[in-house]
Amino acid sequence: MQPEQVKQILLEHLPDCDIDVAGEGSHFNVTVVGDVFEGLNAVKRQQLVYAGLNQYIADGSMHAVNMKTFTRDQWAQQ
């Protein structure tokens, strides 16, 4: 898969988020920023992102995903 494909998949799953994807082959670094994460702990945030990627992980298209998730307020403070 290409980073742009991963980004498109995540945008369909999390349409109100800003998403950046880097990587190659089956390993990707993903940064997702959105208010959808407000009030969620780190595990719940990751589960939300993985929900959009699980079928690609299961079929082997993706092997490793490192992710960072932020609310818009958290991102602004970065």
Confidence tier at 78 by pLDDT (50, 70, 90): confident
Phi, psi angles (nearest 5°) of residue 38? -55, 125
Report pLDDT for 8: 97
Whether residue 78 is contained in a domain is answered as no
d(C-alpha 36, C-alpha 55), whole Å:
21
Report pLDDT for 40: 98
Give the mean model confidence (pLDDT) for residues 55-74. 95
Number of domains in the chain: 1
List the domain range (segments joined by +) for residue 42. 3-73
Tell me the average pLDDT of the chain. 96
Are 66 and 50 contacting, i.e. CB atoms less than 8 angstroms apart? no
CATH code for position 66: 3.30.300.90
Percent of the chain surpassing pLDDT 90: 94
Give the mean model confidence (pLDDT) for residues 27-50. 97
pLDDT tens digits for range 5-36: 999 999 999 999 999 999 988 999 999 999 99
From the CB of residue 1, how many other CB atoms can be counted at a distance below 10 Å?
Answer: 16
